[in-house]
Amino acid sequence: MRKIGILHPGQMGAAVALTAKNSGHEVYWASEGRSAETSERARKTGLQDAGTTARMSEICDTIVGVCPPEFAERMADEIGALSYRGLYVDLNAVSPERVRRIAGLVTANGAGFVDGCIIGQPPAGRGETWIYLCGERAVDAAGCFTEGPLEAEVIEGGIGQASALKMCFSAHAKGMAALRAAVLGAAHQLGVLEDLERQWSRSGPPMAQAVKSIEITAPKAWRFIAEMQEIVETFESVGMPGDFHRGAAEIYRRLAPFKGTEKPDLADALLRLTLDVSPELIAHRGK
Amino acid sequence: MRKIGILHPGQMGAAVALTAKNSGHEVYWASEGRSAETSERARKTGLQDAGTTARMSEICDTIVGVCPPEFAERMADEIGALSYRGLYVDLNAVSPERVRRIAGLVTANGAGFVDGCIIGQPPAGRGETWIYLCGERAVDAAGCFTEGPLEAEVIEGGIGQASALKMCFSAHAKGMAALRAAVLGAAHQLGVLEDLERQWSRSGPPMAQAVKSIEITAPKAWRFIAEMQEIVETFESVGMPGDFHRGAAEIYRRLAPFKGTEKPDLADALLRLTLDVSPELIAHRGK
């Protein structure tokens, strides 16, 4: 039995924590500065409260970081500053380069480091969502997650490979969804949305599928902005164009106000997508 | 019976010409300066040779332009310079703004103008490929194309709407294909192509589908570069991000050397996609 600390257990973090618990480990979180919603989630998942991150770092042999990508480096820095000497597992959606920087932060003061990622939604059962782990201590880290609902899998290669996989998977899934939203936004602005729907009914995705893609992504769009920026950096680091995901970040930025909305409708989404259209551009259009 | 001239009958132009012929019209082309391949295609389609564009403009009451988008404006300018007074139908994949400029060029000297586009591949039979037409004389132009294999359809709105529809349809289809190619290129460069394939086999498109998408687009990629640039202009004119299709243009530029290749394999395509990776970027990746 290990003592595992989960930093910032949001919805996905709670699924990670539950997997660790199901795998026979004692699982902790740190309530200091966290929201009532996170508290309630931690209580329901049956996590033990270490109070502070500092205390967690004393209790736990393994600490797992799960947070939006823009906070990943700061979170690791906090652990590094505590001179933590256990195993730190970073599961965040960051570029390989950033995860290597993060590894540097935590290993400089003595911690072990595993690069990981999560692909899929917070799962109801097994076979839905995967944790990929890589680096020298990846097999060790996989021992935290043997019984689901998340499935852990070790991949080859050093630190950076799990993050690279996440970047590529997400570049496709979230990039496609953003591109589709942009096409609907443009078609709406150009006055050809119905014509596009008719042509798509002949050869293309059904319009319903495109609309569903917006409905699913819009409530989570705020979280995707930084992730798209990580993908831009990843793609450009290997000479692939970063433009697709610069566009995707912009689309998700426009959809960010749907945070928490259960199911935005198409008219609302198109309105949001086009709210950022500047008067200059509208004038340009009228030319 | 009308006399219809088809400018630059490539593979799609020949399908347009055949449709006009099937619809009971006399169809002309102009052999001057055209390739032996185009000559052979025109002969097989049973087109009459007007010799020159100037002579075609004397013979024909309707002239139809079908060419890669980068030549569309020049072609229209040539017709304008001939003081053509018949009906000019532009079927090219250009932005609404460019088609309005093209309309200006040909109507200034007395021709009528219809904005059109073609969606689909050169067709084997009906119900595969559509000509959309708009503008005051769209119904008149549709009379050229009543009997297939291409299906003609008039859409509402003034000059620019058919082009807008083409831009949106193509932004989706060719944008998605380019994004998919970029993801494969990045995954290859990052060393996670096999991991991505395994994850896609669990949740994602089958890898085979992504590979097929490259096989289909690579031989035509050279033609898509200018089309992606037209989409960038179209999207930006209505305040949508042009980045996606800037990225797509870059991907198709890299795949352009596959022009005429029957079926490039994945390894070849990935090589081409990454040939443009500069040494600086590779160094950056090693950091």
pLDDT per residue as tens digits for the range B141-182? 999 999 999 999 999 999 999 999 999 999 999 999 999 999
User: Is the CB of B235 less than 8 angstroms away from the CB of A195?
Assistant: no
Chain B CA closest to residue A170: B183
How many Å apart are CA A18 and CA A49, to the nearest integer? Answer: 14
Where does CATH 3.40.50.720 sit in chain A? 3-159
Span B117-126, average pLDDT: 94
Chain B residues within an 8 Å CB radius of A235? 182, 186
**Backbone φ/ψ region at B51: left (φ over 0), alpha (ψ -120 to 50), beta:** left
Give the pLDDT band (50/70/90) at residue B265.
confident
In this model, does residue B281 exceed pLDDT 70? no
- Which tokens is A271 given? 């309105």
User: Is the CB of B246 less than 8 angstroms away from the CB of A241?
Assistant: yes
Give the pLDDT band (50/70/90) at residue B278.
low
Where does CATH 3.40.50.720 sit in chain B? 3-158
Question: What pLDDT is attached to residue B277?
Answer: 63
User: Is the CB of B190 less than 8 angstroms away from the CB of A96?
Assistant: yes
Chain B CA closest to residue A245: B244
CA distances B161 to A186, B32, B96, B131, Å, are 12, 33, 7, 13
How many C-beta atoms lie closer than 10 Å to residue A141's C-beta? 26
Mutate to test the interface with B, among A100, A176, A184, A238 (most CBs of B within 10 A): A238
Q: What is the DSSP string of A88-119?
A: EEE-----HHHHHHHHHHHHTTT-EEEEEEEE
User: Is the CB of A196 less than 8 angstroms away from the CB of B168?
Assistant: yes
User: Is the CB of B244 less than 8 angstroms away from the CB of A248?
Assistant: yes
pLDDT per residue as tens digits for the range B5-39? 999 899 999 999 999 999 999 999 999 999 999 99
Chain B residues within an 8 Å CB radius of A168? 183, 186-187, 190, 192, 196
How many C-beta atoms lie closer than 10 Å to residue A133's C-beta? 26
Give how far A122 is from chain B: nearest CA, Å: 14
User: Is the CB of B167 less than 8 angstroms away from the CB of A157?
Assistant: no
Give the pLDDT band (50/70/90) at residue B287.
very low
How many Å apart are CA A227 and CA A144, to the nearest integer? Answer: 26
User: Is the CB of A190 less than 8 angstroms away from the CB of B164?
Assistant: yes
How many Å apart are CA A157 and CA A42, to the nearest integer? Answer: 34
Q: Which residues of B104-136 are buried (b: 16+ CB within 10 A; e: fewer)?
A: ebbeeeebbbbbbbbbbebbeeeebbbbbbbbe
- Rg over alpha carbons for chain A, rounded to the nearest Å, is 21
Q: Is residue B70 within 8 Å of B226, Cβ to Cβ?
A: yes
Chain A residues within an 8 Å CB radius of B122? none
Mutate to test the interface with B, among A121, A165, A190 (most CBs of B within 10 A): A190
Give the pLDDT band (50/70/90) at residue B286.
very low
* pLDDT-flagged residues of chain A (< 70): 276-287
Mutate to test the interface with A, among B244, B253, B270, B275 (most CBs of A within 10 A): B244
Chain B residues within an 8 Å CB radius of A185? 238, 240
**Pairs of CB atoms within 8 A across A/B:** 207
How many Å apart are CA A98 and CA A234, to the nearest integer? Answer: 9
Question: What pLDDT is attached to residue A275?
Answer: 77
Q: What is the CATH number of domain B3-158?
A: 3.40.50.720
**Residue whose C-alpha is closest to residue B171's, from A281, A199, A217, A280:** A199
Please state the ipTM of this predicted complex.
Answer: 0.93
Name the H helices within chain B: 11-22, 36-45, 53-59, 69-81, 96-107, 138-142, 161-190, 193-202, 207-217, 221-237, 243-255, 266-275, 279-286
Write down the architecture of domain B164-286 according to CATH: Orthogonal Bundle (1.10)
Query: With respect to CATH, is domain A3-159 assigned 2.30.40.10?
Result: no
- Which tokens is B283 given? 């160094």
In this model, does residue B78 exceed pLDDT 50? yes
∠ CA A162-A167-A107 to the nearest 5 degrees? 45
How many Å apart are CA B217 and CA A22, to the nearest integer? Answer: 47
Chain A residues within an 8 Å CB radius of B182? 171, 235, 240-241, 244
How many Å apart are CA B43 and CA B29, to the nearest integer? Answer: 10
Question: What pLDDT is attached to residue B5?
Answer: 98
Assess whether the previous peptide bond of B149 is cis (omega < 30° from 0): yes
Nearest to B190 among A164, A172, A250 (CB): A164
Chain B CA closest to residue A185: B240
Chain B CA closest to residue A194: B165
How many Å apart are CA B67 and CA B11, to the nearest integer? Answer: 10
Nearest to B239 among A100, A203, A277 (CB): A277
Question: What pLDDT is attached to residue A285?
Answer: 46
Where does CATH 1.10.1040.10 sit in chain B? 164-286
Nearest to B204 among A172, A243, A248 (CB): A172
Q: What is the CATH number of domain A167-286?
A: 1.10.1040.10
3-state SS assignment for residue B152 = strand
The sheet that has A3-7: what strands, in order across it?
A: A48-49, A26-29, A3-7, A62-65, A87-90, A112-119, A130-134, A151-154
Chain A residues within an 8 Å CB radius of B200? 169
Nearest to B189 among A240, A242, A273 (CB): A240
Give how far A257 is from chain B: nearest CA, Å: 17
Give how far A26 is from chain B: nearest CA, Å: 30
Where does CATH 1.10.1040.10 sit in chain A? 167-286
Q: What is the DSSP code (8-state) at residue A253?
A: H
Contacting residues for B145 by C-beta, under 8 A, at least 6 apart: B16, B19, B20, B23, B131, B151, B152
Chain B CA closest to residue A169: B196
Which residue shows structure tokens 């680091």? A237
Span B240-255, average pLDDT: 97
